[in-house]
Amino acid sequence: MRKAINIFWVLILLGMCDACKRTLKIADYVRYVNGKENGLLKKVEVDGFEYSVQYKPYDYIILMENKGSMMSENTGKRKAELAGTAWFNISIKRNDNTTTLLRYGLSSLDQYNTRLDYYLNKAQNDIWLLYGKDTIHPASYLFENNYNLTPQETMVVGFYLPKGDNCPKEKMQLSYNDQVFKNGIIKVTYAEKILDNIPDLTY
Amino acid sequence: MMQKNERRLLLYCLAMCVVTGVIVTWLINSQPKRIAVVDAVKLFDGYNMKNELEELAKRQLQAESKQIDSIGNALEMAKVVHTDEEGIKRLSYSYDYMKSKLQKDYEQSNHDINEKVWKRLNPLLQDYGKKKHLHLIIGANGMGSVLYNDDYFDLTNEVIKYVNTRYAEGN
């Protein structure tokens, strides 16, 4: 009987450890999200190009929007707005950082304009997300035009989650079919475990 | 007549020879494979990215093909009802143009898929070779480069599994 009670308590303790999520302060939280080892930032290298896909939890988005602060009055409202969506940054650059993607390997202004037009207006058609078993297409897309000031170009892409999920809970696989540099389909996978392990933010 | 001790020594030597033989054979067979044969066609066809790119290209080409069918139908109708010659000429020109465009697009898409797939497969094969400490990976493609290989050296299925896992996980 005593043995059974001991086992029961051990199981209860294990359950409690599993249930309580890690909490991090702002700086550590940002470091966690940006750290490749934590699985929220994925990098794929193909033929001298580096594709980085950053999954952005809601708290991270709000932190970035409020310049690292969660004290804004609108934080709760913003969180409610973001509920039911999943957001990613897809960044592309040359490995050697020599030139911006918009100018890489071009020989005329026409080619530059075609490429810019692709990233501004068409690239969203080449991005999709496999959420669980559902394939979903972007609900929101923005190309951050940095006017050739940095070698890295970034696409911000957002999806509405199916099945009324409040936040991403199932395995996600983001795909981007690179039409410009003919590098094929870039895929990154976020396992459920990675999403479960995202710590809570304390401030 | 052999003495008892001599017989024992002879038996002992024979036993040692057998044991040495078994150990040498085991050592030779347990050496890691340093050469692998991969069926390049099977690998290409088994790579998931190739199939996904083909599916995407198929949608585009099917849309073009439907347009050609519509123009073809309109042309047939125009010929039957004998509308103006100029209209028939224009439809005929459009029909021929679209047909040749479809052919070109089909060839271009095949070329692009080939290029994209090998661009991804080549570094993955290099990684695989390094990981498995292989000195050589021979690509068999049914064109006579490899005339025969048994299953021992054929790692095609293992390589397909490896490249597809890397592709799904992000590379």
pLDDT tens-place string over residues A162-197: 988 889 999 999 999 999 998 999 999 999 999 999
Minimal Cα–Cα distance from B135 to chain A, Å?
23
Q: Are residues B56 and B17 in the same domain?
A: no
Q: Assign residue B42 the CATH number of its domain.
A: 3.30.910.20
Helix (H) or strand (E) holding B100: helix B85-131
Residue among B49, B112, B115 whose CB faces A185 most closely: B49
Is the separation of the CB atoms in A47 and A183 below 8 Å? yes
DSSP characters over B11-30? HHHHHHHHHHHHHHHHHHHT
pLDDT at position A76 over 90? no
CB contact under 8 A, A42 and B170: yes
Instruction: Tell me which residue range forms the domain holding B139.
Output: 32-169
Helix (H) or strand (E) holding A92: strand A85-94
Is the CB of residue B51 less than 8 Å away from at least one CB of chain A? Answer: no
Minimal Cα–Cα distance from B34 to chain A, Å?
27
pLDDT, one tens digit for every residue, chain B (171 residues): 567 788 888 888 889 888 888 887 777 666 666 888 899 999 999 999 999 999 999 999 999 999 999 999 988 888 888 767 888 888 899 999 999 999 999 999 999 999 999 999 999 999 999 999 988 888 887 676 777 777 778 899 999 999 999 999 876
Residue A111's identity, in one-letter code, is Q
Q: Write the CA distances from A14 to A10, A11, A186, B46, integer angstroms.
A: 6, 5, 39, 43
**Which tokens sit at B85?**
């010659």
* Longest Cα–Cα distance in chain B: 120
CA-CA-CA-CA torsion sign (A138, A144, A147, A148) = negative
Question: What single DSSP character describes residue A152?
Answer: -
Q: Tell me what pLDDT residue A172 has.
A: 95
CB contact under 8 A, A189 and B119: no
Is the CB of residue B170 less than 8 Å away from at least one CB of chain A? Answer: yes
Is the separation of the CB atoms in A182 and B115 below 8 Å? yes
C-alpha span between A163 and A158 (Å, rounded): 16
Is the separation of the CB atoms in A45 and B171 below 8 Å? yes
Q: Tell me what pLDDT residue B159 has.
A: 94
Q: Write the CA distances from B63 to A159, B27, B57, B59, B60, integer angstroms.
A: 27, 61, 10, 6, 5
Q: Tell me what pLDDT residue B30 has.
A: 66
C-alpha span between A121 and A114 (Å, rounded): 10
Q: Are residues B143 and B156 in the same domain?
A: yes
Q: Are residues B45 and B27 in the same domain?
A: no
Q: Are residues B17 and B37 in the same domain?
A: no
Chain B residue numbers with beta carbons less than 8 Å from the beta carbon of A183 are 116, 119-120
Nearest chain A residue to B167 by CA distance is A187
What is the per-residue pLDDT across A22-73, written as a single tens digit (0 to 9) for each? 888 889 999 999 998 999 999 999 999 999 999 999 999 999 988 877 776 7
Residues in Cβ contact with B78 at an 8 Å cutoff, skipping those fewer than 6 apart: B87, B88, B91
Q: Are residues B105 and B147 in the same domain?
A: yes
Residues A98-137, buried b or exposed e (16+ Cβ, 10 A)?
A: eebbbebeeeeeeeeeebeebbeeebbebbbbbbbeeebe
End-to-end Cα, chain B, rounded Å: 75
| Residue with tokens 């939890």, as numbered in its chain | A57
**Which tokens sit at B162?**
């490896």
Q: Are residues B101 and B91 in the same domain?
A: yes
CB contact under 8 A, B116 and A42: no
CB contact under 8 A, A189 and B168: yes
Q: Are residues B17 and B97 in the same domain?
A: no
Task: Kindly indicate the confidence band of residue A14, based on its pLDDT and cuts at 50, 70 and 90.
Answer: low
The count of domains in chain B is 2
Q: Are residues B5 and B75 in the same domain?
A: no
Chain B residue numbers with beta carbons less than 8 Å from the beta carbon of A187 are 167-170
pLDDT at position A6 over 80? no
Q: Are residues B5 and B54 in the same domain?
A: no
Chain A residue numbers with beta carbons less than 8 Å from the beta carbon of B53 are 177, 184-185
CB pairs under 8 A between A and B: 40
Q: Tell me what pLDDT residue B54 has.
A: 95
Is the separation of the CB atoms in A119 and A102 below 8 Å? yes
CB contact under 8 A, A182 and B167: no
Three-state DSSP class for residue B170:
coil
Q: Tell me what pLDDT residue A7 has.
A: 67
CA-CA-CA-CA torsion sign (A178, A182, A185, A187) = negative
C-alpha span between A58 and A86 (Å, rounded): 8
Q: Are residues B11 and B67 in the same domain?
A: no
* Mutate which: A36, A43, A44, vs B, most B CBs within 10 A: A44
Q: Are residues B41 and B24 in the same domain?
A: no
Residues in Cβ contact with A43 at an 8 Å cutoff, skipping those fewer than 6 apart: A36, A50, A51, A52, A53, B170
Q: Are residues B92 and B133 in the same domain?
A: yes
